[in-house]
Amino acid sequence: MSNLNEQLEQLPKAMQPSRDLWPSIAAKLDKPAQTSSNQNPWQWVAIAASMALVSVLSFNMGKSQIVEQDNSQMLAMLELINNQHQTQVQQYQAKVQLTSWGQLSQEPVDAGLTEVRTASDEVFKTLLAQPDNQKLQKLWLWLLEKEREILRESQQPQLNSI
């Protein structure tokens, strides 16, 4: 270790360049930057514009894919609700057929059901075209509930007619 320290002591404290380099550095700093003759100043504008166009197009394409995905999920949810409603209606109708109340006059009930079902079908068709329309969604769900309500009430005994 002492040998290494001795060698370090023998080294010069500073090094000087073999020649003065500052005049050549200063000369290069004073010269204007050379541009190649084939570069056009509009080239940078064109590059910037194309990058802006690509970014806008990619943003809009991504946005439309999100909307399409959201609509497909909404349509799937509407179909699921519709299928569950149809199952509930079939269960109500099966109960009506099993009870003696179903033998009573059902004309007013059938007329009300027909009217509600027709309206519900029309709203559902419109909703399939506009799945994110919240007013249509609420109207359709209200009509489905009205149909179930009519079916529930038709199962209760009609004391006035007995």
| Separation CA 117–CA 142 (nearest Å) | 12
CB atoms near residue 102 (< 10 Å) = 14
CB atoms near residue 144 (< 10 Å) = 22
| Separation CA 94–CA 88 (nearest Å) | 10
- Tell me: pLDDT of 67 over 60: no
| Separation CA 88–CA 93 (nearest Å) | 9
| Separation CA 134–CA 78 (nearest Å) | 12
Is-above-0.85 flag for pTM? no
DSSP 37: T
Among the listed ranges 11-20, 59-68, 91-100, which one has the minimum average pLDDT value? 59-68
| Separation CA 156–CA 109 (nearest Å) | 12
pLDDT score of 28: 80
Long-range contacts of 138-143 (CB under 8 A, 24+ apart): 141/81, 143/116, 143/119
pLDDT score of 102: 45
Mean pLDDT of 18-45: 72
